[in-house]
Chain A
Amino acid sequence: MTLETGMQELLMEFLKTLPINIIIIILSAALGLLFAVLLTFVRLKRIPVISQLADLYVSFARSVPGLILLFIAYFGIPKVLPLIGLGTYDISPMHAAIISMGFYHSGYISEVFRPAYLAVEKSQHEAADSLGYTPMQKFFRIILPQMVPVALPGYGNALVYLIHDTSLIFAIGIVDIMGTAELSIARSYGTNQILIYFIIALMFSAMCFTTDGLVRKLEKRVAIR
C-alpha cells in the first residue's frame, strides 16, 4: 500500500466518524442552552435556596476541567440511578458525553446570558410595565430582542469552546475522530502521527470556523440599527 492510498483511506475513516462528533456537539449544545436558560432564570429571579444552589453550580462548572465532568458523568450516573429508583443501567459513553458536555457548556453560557439580561436598561422594563405588558409579553417583545445582540458574541465563543471540549470525549472510549486517530496510529505502529493530528486539527478548525461564521452572520442580522 502506497502512502497516498493509505492517506486517502485514513481520511475516509475520519470522515466516517466525524458525524459522531457533530451529533455530540449539537445535542450537548441544545442541552446546554436549555439548562442555561433555566439556570439564568433561577439566578436572576433570586428564589431563595435554589438561586444559591444555581450560583454554586455555575462556579463549580466553571472551575472544574471538562475532562473531570466527563468522567464523573460516565462513572457516577450508573451509581446515582439506583438511588432514585431507576434500577442499575450502564450508561453509554455517548450519553455520558452529551450530558457532561451539555452541563459544562451551560455553566459557561449562563454567565453570558446573565450579563446580557442585566445590560438591558431598567427604563425599558419600566416602559413596558407602564404600557401594561404582561411579564411574558415584556420578556419576549422588549427584553429578549435587546438581549440577543449583546449575548451573541459571547455565545459564539462558548460554542467554539464546546467544540474544543468535545475533542476530549475519546477519553471515555468513544471512537470519534480522536479515537480513530489513536486506533490508526496503533495499527500503523506509530508512524505519521504528526500528519494524522494535523488533519484532525484542520477538521476541528473547519467546524469551529463554520460555527464562527454562522454566529457572525446571525449577529449582523440581529444588530440594533
Chain B
Amino acid sequence: MFDLAASYEMFLGILGVLPETLLIAITILVLSTLLGVVLALIQQYKIPVLVQLTKLFKLFLRGTPMVVFLYLMYYALPAIGQFIVTLLGIDYNMNNMSPLVILIVTVSLTLSAFQSEIIRGSFLAVDPGQIEAAQSLGYSFSQTFTRIVAPQAFVHAIPDFANSFTVAIKATSLGFLITVIDIFAQAKIMAAQNFRFVEAFMMVALIYWGIGILITKFSDRYENDVRIK
C-alpha cells in the first residue's frame, strides 16, 4: 500500500526540480505582465485595428482550453517563427525550437489576457480625487503616474497577481505533454520507475498545495505592509 519511505524519497526527488518550475512560472508572470500592460493600453486608448484583435484574442482564449492552445502552438509556433526568420533574411532553423520556449510563450499569452484585466481594473480603482489633488499640487503627468497612481494601483493588484502566479505554476504542469520537465513531469517519471503512482502524485499535490498556501500567506502579508492604513 502506501509506502512512506518511498514517498519521502519521491518528495525529495520532486523538490529538486522545484526551483526550475518556479523560475519558469516567474518568467511567465513577468512576460505576461508586460504583455498585459500593452493589451491594457490598447484597450484603454482604443487603438483602431489592435483593439479588435485584442478582443478576438480574448474571445479565442475564453473558448479554448490551454491544452489545445498549447498543442496548437507546439505545431504552429516553429512554422510561424520560420516564416518571420526567413522574412528577415536570417538563416536559422526554427524547427529545433525548445518545447520550454513554446510552453512559456503559450502560458504567457494565455495569462496576459487575465493580467491586462487585472491591470486595467486596478488603475480604474484609484480614486480620481488623488489625481486631481496631485495636479493641484503641480505634479507633472509622469510624476502623477509614478508617484501617485502607480503605487496605489499596485497595491490593488497584489492579490490578483498572487493568484496569477498560482495559475502560472499550475499551468506549467501541462508542460509534460510537450516534454518539458517540471515538478509534475518529474513525479510522473519517478512514478513510472517503480510503479508507485499514488505516492508520487500525492507528493506532488502536497508540493503544489504548499506553494499555493505560501503564496497566499506572503501576498497577504505584503499587501498588509504596503497598504496605507
Contact = CB atoms under 8 A, between A and B. Distances in A.
Q: Which of B62, B65, B71, B72 has the most CB of A within 10 A?
A: B65
B67 A168 contact: yes
A75 B197 contact: yes
Contacts of B76: 194
B209 A194 contact: no
Contacts of A71: 188, 197, 201
B166 A63 contact: yes
Contacts of B72: 194, 197-198, 201
A166 B213 CA distance: 25
Given A79-B1, A194-B72, A197-B72, A64 B65 contact: no
Given A72-B201, A76-B198, A201-B72, A63 B67 contact: no
B114 to A, nearest CB: 12
Interface string B150-183: 0000000000000000100011011001000000
A62 interface: yes
A71 B187 CA distance: 11
B206 to A, nearest CB: 9
A69 B170 CA distance: 12
B75 A193 contact: yes
B165 to A, nearest CB: 11
B65 A204 contact: yes
B139 interface: no
Contact of A178 (B67, B173, B209): B67
A125 B63 CA distance: 39
Interface string A58-78: 011011110111011001100
B95 to A, nearest CB: 12
B123 interface: no
B63 A209 contact: yes
A204 B65 CA distance: 7
B3 to A, nearest CB: 11
B169 to A, nearest CB: 8
A39 B80 CA distance: 47
Nearest to A71: B201
Nearest to B172: A65
A95 interface: no
B212 interface: yes
B63 A208 contact: yes
Given A75-B198, A75-B201, A63 B65 contact: no
Nearest to B166: A63
A68 B184 contact: yes
B198 A72 contact: yes
A160 B71 CA distance: 20
A60 B170 CA distance: 13
Q: Which of A65, A178, A204, A205 has the most CB of B within 10 A?
A: A65
A27 B2 CA distance: 30
A193 B72 CA distance: 8
30 contacts: A59-B209, A59-B212, A59-B213, A60-B205, A62-B212, A63-B213, A64-B212, A68-B201, A68-B204, A68-B205, A72-B202, A72-B205, A79-B2, A83-B1, A160-B62, A165-B65, A167-B68, A168-B65, A168-B67, A178-B67, A193-B71, A194-B72, A194-B76, A194-B79, A197-B71, A197-B75, A200-B68, A204-B65, A205-B63, A208-B62
Interface of B: 1-2, 60, 62-69, 71-72, 75-76, 79, 166, 170-171, 173-174, 177, 184, 188, 197-198, 201-202, 204-205, 208-209, 211-213
